[in-house]
Amino acid sequence: MADTYSPDSEPTTRTLLRRVLDTADTRTPQRRRSTRIGAQKSLLEIPSSRRLSISTKMNVRQRSQRARSIGRLAHVQTSGHLEEQTPRTLLKNILLTAPESSIVMPESVVKPVPTPQVVQSSKQESSRGSLELQLPELEPPTTLALGLLAPGRRKRRLRLSVFQQGIDQGLPLSQGKTLDNTCGQHLFSLNLTFATPLQPQSVQRPGLARRPPTRRAVDVGAFLQDLQDTSLALASPGNSLRTPAATLPTDTVLEDTQPFSQPLVGHSPSVYHSLPYLFHTEAKDAEKAVSHRTQSNGPRLQNHSPGKPAQLLPTKAKKVDALAMSFTNTSSAISGEDEVEPSQDVVSEEAEEMMEESLNMGEVKDTTGTQGSVRTEKSERHAEMTEAFEAKEPEGSSGDKDISASPELASSTTEFLQTRQLQFPKSAPPPSTAILSSEDLEPLPTRLPPRARTLGPRPRQDPYKTGLSHYAKLFSFYARMPMEKKALEMVEKCLDKYFQHLCDDLEVFASHAGRKTVRPEDLELLMHRQGLVNDQVSLHVLVERHLPLEYRQLLIPCAFSGNSVFPAQ
């Protein structure tokens, strides 16, 4: 075996494992070899011929890989068999069949389109087994390539691999959690694909984060079916593997859809998330335009899913499609298409309408808490255009806290307002009053007790200092020059006065309108007085100018995450 492959320059885990297994391998399969070689050789010839034909399409590099894999496959088929699986043999099969792909260079692995075919053409057991360990490395190319070819195939293989993991780990199949964990581990170990797609899902809908595991648990039931089907298909692995590979996915897809319609829906976004993720940095611009299309595509999710990946290859615009599709898919998958469509309609409408709606919703929000919150959550979920929403709602509601708590809390809450204005990642929590009250007060309580005790004057207390020192540090950072301590202190003083003044103004504006709570209109008035908003420049324009889509996409998940935000790798 050592002859068939040239060891990598880097000692990867793969090579280590291989060496380990090579040394240990000699014991077990010797018996089987003698009995099975004759039977296996016929099987070998057909796949090898298939593989050779495939190799003509590939690069030289992959050819060498294929050659190695062929050699390994021969070894595999002599040694292992479906019924006599042991974890050891499975691992060995993985190492034999998997191409020499290092974790460091994912892009090179991205190229080979036929690799999935090759993997497929090999024994199902080995392919399944190979997929296990291949997931961290090969998954990027498989997701890309297979996504391009046929989503069904990939889904099936995914599920099978997951199922295989379950077998290997000796866990019952129904454990959705383990599958989720393993998948999650895989996903987070990847430097591509699943990392981001799943995050927006879970981040945007913290309450529904439980859903994907249940869906996967259901899929496992289908895995058994798939296994049986593919084990039957194994009987004729050679030429039939390719064509049934084309037909089987559809069959399995159909089979899957019959008992469970949701899992496909759940998986399709994952497919497309993997695809657009690579291009997500480029694709954000056309989000708006795409949302229109996704609107129409919403209901015909499944029909579009096979079509979409084929489109994704040529142009960036198509990638944008996929991205938007993925987003809408996630939204539809999770929140139900009916709910998505109207909100998508809203989203696809002009941003101003959206913002006005959100503003109105914000106005209503104080009176109808949950309804507005639900609606606004939905709208925020689907709309990357809720700029004014974010701009105003957190301020309005944090302003609520301001006035309602006590006027002395002015500076602390102005800091909140300022944080929202100045620092995008530090956006205030989502506008729903319930969530806000819980989240807004969490940082506040450290300041509340000292505030409540000292009523009359406004003494400089530690919470203030800590908050203002943060701003002073920002100031020094943006000054790009070393600053004296005295200068920083002066900056803090000025900031303090500024914030106090700001909140006084807000309070006065609110009382001027006969209200006790500060509302977004008060803030708009303030900005008008500050000269930021005037006849030429409206608030919406400012929001669009200063809250670009990328920031909004960061902000919205953060705002809705409920403090469960995972970093994108």
Partner 1 sequence: MEEDKAAEEQQRFSYRQRLKAAVHYNVGCLCEEVASDKEIQFSKQTIAAISELTFRQCENFAKDLEMFARHAKRSTINTEDVKLLARRSNSLLKYITEKNEELTQFNSEQRAKKKKKLEEENKKPVEPAEAGAAGRDSSTV
Interface contacts to partner 1, rule CB under 8 A = 508-509, 512-514, 521-522, 525, 528-529
- Contact at 8 Å (CB) between 468 and 452? no
Pick 465 or 529: Cβ nearer partner 1: 529
Angle between helices 301-312 and 262-278 (to 10 degrees): 20
CB of 475 to partner 1, least distance (A): 25
CB of 162 to partner 1, least distance (A): 59
* Angstrom distance (rounded) from CA 567 to CA 550: 15
CB of 513 to partner 1, least distance (A): 5
Pick 323 or 539: Cβ nearer partner 1: 539
CB of 532 to partner 1, least distance (A): 14
- Contact at 8 Å (CB) between 549 and 285? yes
Pick 513 or 549: Cβ nearer partner 1: 513
CB of 538 to partner 1, least distance (A): 13
- Contact at 8 Å (CB) between 431 and 373? yes
Q: Please enumerate in sequence order all residues whose Cβ is within 8 A of that of 276, keeping only pairs 6 or more positions apart, or say none.
A: 283, 312, 319, 320, 322, 323, 326
Nearest CA to 396 among 222, 271, 539? Answer: 539
Terminal alpha carbon distance of the chain: 36
| Six token digits for residue 217 | 């648990």
Pick 487 or 513: Cβ nearer partner 1: 513
Other Cβ atoms less than 10 A from the Cβ of 441: the count is 12
Pick 482 or 514: Cβ nearer partner 1: 514
Pick 473 or 529: Cβ nearer partner 1: 529
Pick 192 or 525: Cβ nearer partner 1: 525
Pick 232 or 541: Cβ nearer partner 1: 541
CB of 509 to partner 1, least distance (A): 7
Pick 293 or 528: Cβ nearer partner 1: 528
CB of 215 to partner 1, least distance (A): 50
Count of positions (residues) in the chain: 569
Question: Which stretches within 259-409 are classed as H helix?
Answer: 262-278, 280-283, 287-297, 301-312, 316-335, 337-348, 351-365, 369-382, 387-405
Other Cβ atoms less than 10 A from the Cβ of 210: the count is 12
CB of 525 to partner 1, least distance (A): 6
* Angstrom distance (rounded) from CA 507 to CA 522: 9
- Residue burial 484-521, b: 16+ Cβ < 10 Å; e: rest: eeeebeebbeebbeebeebbebbbebbeeeeeebbbbb
Q: CA of 199: how far to CAs of 191, 384, 410, 559, in Å? A: 14, 16, 36, 14
* Angstrom distance (rounded) from CA 492 to CA 489: 5
* Angstrom distance (rounded) from CA 34 to CA 270: 44
Q: CA of 134: how far to CAs of 14, 338, 346, in Å? A: 10, 38, 42
CB of 392 to partner 1, least distance (A): 15
Pick 229 or 363: Cβ nearer partner 1: 363
Pick 340 or 388: Cβ nearer partner 1: 388
CB of 204 to partner 1, least distance (A): 35
CB of 545 to partner 1, least distance (A): 22
Pick 95 or 523: Cβ nearer partner 1: 523
- Contact at 8 Å (CB) between 231 and 238? no
CB of 400 to partner 1, least distance (A): 18
* Angstrom distance (rounded) from CA 281 to CA 259: 37
